[in-house]
Amino acid sequence: MIGAPRRIGLPQVTIYIGEVYATREPTVIKTLLGSCVAVCLWDPEMRVGGMNHFLLPRSPNGAPEDPARFGVHAMDLLICEMQKAGADRRRLRAKVFGGAHVLAMPEEEDGVPSQNIAFALEFLRRDGFRLTGEDLGGYQARRVHFHTDTGRAFVQRITSATALSRLAVTEQQHAVQRPAYGEVTLF
């Protein structure tokens, strides 16, 4: 859905690369995605919702310093946080966003965006989570707002040069704070 309605008084939490957040309190979890992927999980009975935001499917260098930057760990961490907040793993529903090709370089079939998408969808399929929504791939960054009390997600495609420039700066700043992993250059 495009154009998230404003709900006055609802707390908002913004997550960035390598972060996971889940709560049973009605909250809007927000993130901005380029080639990264965010998975939202929701338990409709307990009304517990959560989101992660990962950079790569897995660390090429073994045990990473910041595991939530990698999908394989970010998914486990999100599931654990959901269960700590009262969710039942058997009821979880999933929505997946991101994996856009946003860099000014030749697109590769096995590039980071494609790897992220394939990993997220395979993880959800393999673990038996019901996929109820997705907005993946393409060439535009996305702003995602996930409402933890309803499980609704709102996506805004980012087309303005200013917003894309801010996303690039944010990702570059994050890359400076973190080491490079293997042959992947963080942007």
Mean pLDDT for 112-133 is 97
Average pLDDT over residues 127-144: 96
List of domains in the chain:
12-177 (3.30.1330.200)
Dihedral sign (CA 43, 44, 48, 49): positive
DSSP tag of 10: -
Helices first, then strands: H and E counts in the chain: 3, 9
- Sorting pLDDT into bands at 50, 70 and 90, what band is 103? confident
The one catalytic residue in 33, 36, 41, 158 is: 36
pLDDT-derived band at 183, boundaries 50, 70, 90: very low
Q: What is the mean pLDDT of residues 122-126?
A: 98
Q: Any catalytic annotation for residue 36?
A: yes
Res. 15: pLDDT tops 90? yes
Whether 172 shows a pLDDT value over 70: the answer reads: no
Q: What pLDDT score was predicted for residue 185?
A: 36
pLDDT value for 4: 53
Q: pLDDT above 70 covers what percent of the chain?
A: 77
